Amino acid sequence: MFLVFAGEGLPARANEDDFAEWAMKRRAEALCRISPDVIMHPSALSLAEAQISPSLRVSGPYPWKYGITTTVFWIGEKATPRNPVSNEKSAWDSDWVLRYGGYDNPDAAARVNFVPVGVVPGINPFYVALPYNDINDHHTKPEAALVIPWFRMTFVRDGESVCKGRWLAIRHGRRVCYAQWEDVGPFAVDHWQYVFGSERPRPNPNQDAGLDVSPAVRDFLGLSGDDRCDWKFVDFANVPLGPWSLYGDDNPFVRLRRLRSVLPAGKIVTRP
């Protein structure tokens, strides 16, 4: 890895890599100037774009999934008849509770600003589960390269998920929330035809639910139970600032802020 002086603008002969890194630096600077107090409440956000005509404001090539029954789950949730697998571990993280920083208490009276009182989440509290896992027995599934649209751009090694951490936009009424894919379910682990294709969720005891969302997503969207939502995948470049940009070691918003905090003034970092 090496440093390149760029001043406050681009080099005189900027190539595509120069421009990409310059754009990342500009975004990091903008994130560092945002006070968390400004973006902790939906009503105080500069998120009019996410609340007015949201279908016109969510950019990107991925299609919407319409009218999907949406249920709520949380890190640390015990198994129940309607939730047969506990959420103390995720499909991709055996230390999910520890990494989050504790129990993601869904009780509204125990939550402030979308997180449990007294918890500083190490994982983005805006998380979801979808019924597909690209990993089986520590290896990447054979069909993953064929069905996951971003596979070739993001694949690193066999057995490392390219689904974990992916961003979604979730729409309910006239609100749009953004969250990261952090677990697998409800009920299925292999339904790529729905997650990446045109099929509907398979029949299941939760009114054919096809999306699980965290308490933070529930609170932002104002969900009350087994609601119906629309959702779509979103590239990080199209995710606006919001309360989903505050927490999580794997959250690219947080990583950009940390990058900005250690970079010398007037320098940008190129790829290794």
Using CA atoms, how far residue 239 sits from 6, 84, 157, 195, in Å, is 26, 33, 26, 20
Residue 140's SS3 state is strand
d(CA 160, CA 143): 14
* Model pLDDT, residue 58: 86
* Model pLDDT, residue 267: 54
Is pTM beyond 0.75? Reply is yes
* Model pLDDT, residue 142: 96
Using CA atoms, how far residue 151 sits from 105, 141, 157, 244, in Å, is 34, 12, 11, 24
* Model pLDDT, residue 271: 40
Query: How many CB atoms are closer than 10 A to CB 255?
Result: 13
d(CA 189, CA 137): 13
Q: What is the DSSP string of 58-127?
A: --SSPPPEEEEEEEE--TTPPPBTTB-S-SSS-SS-TTHHHHHTS-----GGGEETTEETT---SS-SSE
Domains of the chain in start order, with CATH, are 1-40+246-272 (no CATH), 52-242 (2.40.40.10)
Beta pairing class for 139-140 and 167-172:
unpaired
d(CA 179, CA 123): 11
* Model pLDDT, residue 259: 84
Residues of the chain below pLDDT 50: 1-8, 16, 19-20, 28, 31-56, 268-272
